[in-house]
């Protein structure tokens, strides 16, 4: 941290520069008026801030010049607000280049809620941890204590005790409803003098505040860069994952698209035609006893016979291609040769015819028409498969 020594001039030696901080309604302005024994700052009971911007008042109290700066509710403003930054710098600069001797953190003695904890966190965020070396906790509404020792209230609230400990065990009770009681102001000034002595006459300066803001901005930039780097890494990992999944999917599709699993429209039409045709033929042959099961048997027989022709043709294609790979042909024009291509189609059709006829004979050995139709189905199935090397 950067510190600035107090001027040696006698007229400034006893001067004290004070900044009041706290939430709306805690009694900042009233405390400033009590200290200066005047009405420099507008003060009233209100849920909204009466002080709209930082302003300074001064007076000579007990033969010393006091400069007191009252602030609006800075601790409740959005942290990214440009107006907040300007107002914070203003409240420090109003004390002059020499800086602030004391921050008085104003709290009501009867309540200490989560809101006050949030304000304390904001106070440290705005001015830095070093600010507690220059801070005294002020409890207002001291008249409401009655006969209850303040030490008991402090010990009974861990958050309040922790705050006071961070401020070097410095706190003071003030009753703004009794401004004529100058003893309370005298005791406060004595505590400020002791704190100034402990700090070796050093003050909290505008340079310290600006240095803190610079470091905070650097930290935010680092965090922003880390977030962007993490985001880019996540996107990169996601692209790799998608690429790997796409590669796996391509391999799966290649397996699915084997000759036996390819389903073409012409195959579907041929199988469907002979399935329905065979079902109709069996229904016609068994007129007297035909039922749904009869049609279903014919349907399955016709479809199976046509499918057997398609499959037999594919088998011949695979056999010929395998022979071609084994012989390590120099080019696709040399393998298979013209003679093998000429024989391939008739052999596939013939196998389809035989398979279809055998299936028809096994199912209905006494019906020649069924056997013949099954053979035709197998023949057509083998024929529609087409040329294997198109």
Q: So where are the chain's domains?
A: 10-216, 265-384
Over residues 365-378, the mean pLDDT reads 68
CATH architecture assigned to 10-216? 3-Layer(aba) Sandwich (3.40)
Are 205 and 92 contacting, i.e. CB atoms less than 8 angstroms apart?
yes
Q: Give the list of residues 6+ apart from residue 197 with CB closer than 8 angstroms, or none.
A: none
Question: 3-17, 50-64, 155-169: which has the minimum mean pLDDT?
Answer: 3-17
Are 29 and 70 contacting, i.e. CB atoms less than 8 angstroms apart?
yes
The helix (run of H) or strand (run of E) holding residue 112 is none
Q: What is the pLDDT of residues 257-267, one digit of tens each?
A: 555 445 577 77
DSSP three-state, residue 6: coil
Over residues 211-225, the mean pLDDT reads 86
pLDDT at site 327? 52
- Split at pLDDT 50, 70, 90, the class of 191 is very high
How many CB atoms are closer than 10 A to CB 357? Answer: 21
Q: Is the pLDDT of residue 187 over 80?
A: yes
Structure tokens at 334: 């040399």
Q: Is the pLDDT of residue 233 over 70?
A: yes
Over residues 50-60, the mean pLDDT reads 80
Q: What is the pLDDT of residues 58-110, one digit of tens each?
A: 999 988 899 999 988 776 665 555 677 778 888 888 887 889 999 999 988 76
Q: What is the pLDDT of residues 106-123, one digit of tens each?
A: 988 766 667 777 788 888
Q: Is 188 exposed, middle or buried (0-12, 13-18, 19+ CB in 10 A)?
A: buried
pLDDT at site 102? 94
pLDDT at site 185? 94
Place of tokens 């007129």: 287
- Predicted TM-score (pTM) of the model is 0.56
């Amino acid at each position: 941290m950067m510190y600035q020594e107090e001027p040696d001039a006698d007229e400034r030696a006893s001067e004290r520069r004070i900044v009041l901080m706290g939430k709306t309604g805690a009694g900042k302005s009233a405390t400033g008026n009590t200290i200066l024994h005047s009405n420099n700052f507008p003060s009233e009971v209100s849920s909204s801030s009466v002080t709209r911007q930082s302003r300074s008042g001064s007076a000579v109290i007990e033969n010393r010049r006091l400069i007191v700066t009252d602030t609006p509710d800075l601790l409740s403003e959005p942290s990214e607000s440009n107006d907040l930054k300007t107002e914070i710098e203003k409240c420090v600069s109003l004390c002059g280049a020499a800086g602030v001797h004391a921050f008085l953190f104003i709290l009501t003695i009867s309540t200490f809620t989560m809101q006050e904890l949030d304000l304390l966190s904001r106070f440290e965020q705005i001015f830095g941890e070093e600010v507690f070396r220059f801070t005294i906790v002020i409890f207002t509404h001291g008249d409401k204590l009655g006969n209850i020792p303040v030490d008991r209230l402090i010990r009974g609230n861990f958050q309040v005790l922790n705050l006071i400990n961070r401020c070097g065990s410095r706190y003071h009770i003030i009753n703004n409803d009794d401004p004529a009681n100058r003893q309370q102001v005298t005791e406060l000034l004595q505590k400020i003098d002791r704190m100034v002595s402990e700090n070796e006459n050093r003050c909290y300066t505008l340079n310290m505040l600006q240095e803190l803001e610079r470091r905070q901005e650097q930290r935010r930039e680092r965090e922003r860069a880390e977030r962007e780097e993490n985001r880019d890494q996540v996107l990169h990992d996601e692209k790799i994952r998608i690429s790997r999944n796409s590669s796996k999917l391509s391999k799966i599709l290649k397996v699915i698209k084997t000759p036996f699993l390819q389903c073409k429209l012409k195959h579907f039409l041929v199988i469907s035609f002979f399935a329905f045709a065979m079902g109709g033929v069996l229904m016609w042959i068994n007129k007297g006893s035909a039922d749904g099961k009869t049609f279903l048997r014919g349907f399955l027989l016709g479809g199976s016979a046509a499918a057997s022709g398609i499959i037999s043709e594919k088998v011949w294609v695979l056999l010929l291609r395998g022979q071609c790979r084994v012989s390590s042909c120099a080019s696709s024009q040399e393998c298979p040769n013209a003679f093998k291509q000429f024989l391939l189609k008739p052999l596939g059709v013939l196998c389809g015819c035989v398979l279809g006829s055998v299936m028809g004979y096994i199912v209905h050995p006494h019906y020649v028409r069924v056997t013949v139709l099954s053979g035709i189905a197998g023949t057509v199935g083998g024929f529609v498969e087409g040329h294997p090397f198109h």
